[in-house]
Amino acid sequence: MPGLQHGPLNERSVHLCIDMQRIFSTEGPWPTPWMERVLPNVARVVERFPERTIFTRFITPQRPEDMPGTWRQYYERWRQTTREQLDPNMLELMPPLGRFVPPATVIDKPVYSAFAGHKLAEQLHSRGVDTLVVTGSETDVCVLATVLGAVDHGYRVVIVADCLCSSSDEGHDTLLSLYSKRFSQQIETADSETVLSAWQA
């Protein structure tokens, strides 16, 4: 797996951890079977600089009628995930991660991309961030949408390959290949050991 071709990480780097929530664990309605497998790796990245970690949470609507267009159809299909039916604890971060908040921060989002709205972009700008170290769930859905948003905003993006998970092995493998080949000028892919060894400041 390629290393960090653009050099080490520094104080302008932030760890963006996408949707590592109970709703996507094996106990939730949208299970990602190997979330628990990557969880220790994600926790190790958080531990390096918890104050530089931003967690996102995918927050479902109260009811399908609260969403526009195809999102309404989506939640009619997945009505059990709407907040009127879902155990609210399912929207919380996985237990090993919640203990880092604070100093880590949490941004809630109603759609796939963490860049929807202005919260994330404004927070990154106020911190002077130029690099995003990305982990989380799912490789081929919310991570994909967020990573492409980060590229559009001009951020250096570092994908931590052994800190991603998906409910689709095929989608996961395809997207890792896409990240490292099709977007190789803007997206770097490395394992957690490589990332941690390159992130000392």
pLDDT in tens, 139-178: 889 999 999 999 999 999 999 999 999 887 787 778 788 8
In a domain, 138, yes or no: yes
In a domain, 34, yes or no: yes
HSE (side-chain half, CA atoms, 13 Å) at 15: 29
In a domain, 109, yes or no: yes
In a domain, 8, yes or no: no
In a domain, 36, yes or no: yes
In a domain, 68, yes or no: no
In a domain, 66, yes or no: no
Q: Which of 41, 62, 45 has the alpha carbon at shortest distance from 54? A: 45
The reported pLDDT for the residue numbered 1 is 46
CA 130/CA 26 separation, integer angstroms: 34
CATH code of the domain covering residue 181: 3.40.50.850
Q: What is the mean pLDDT of residues 44-57?
A: 97
φ/ψ of 110, rounded to 5, equals: -95, -5
Q: Give per-residue pLDDT as tens, 55-76.
A: 999 999 999 999 999 999 999 9
pTM value is: 0.94
- Structural domain that includes position 171: 13-58+91-198
Q: Which two tokens stand for residue 42?
A: 């994600």
Domain count, the chain: 1
In a domain, 78, yes or no: no
DSSP letter assigned to residue 94: P
Identify whether the C-beta of residue 24 lies closer than 8 Å to the C-beta of residue 60: no
User: Is the pLDDT score of 46 beyond 60?
Assistant: yes
**Region of poorest pLDDT, from 5-9, 49-53, 148-152:** 5-9
Of the pLDDT bands very low, low, confident and very high (cuts 50, 70, 90), residue 3 is low
HSE (side-chain half, CA atoms, 13 Å) at 128: 3
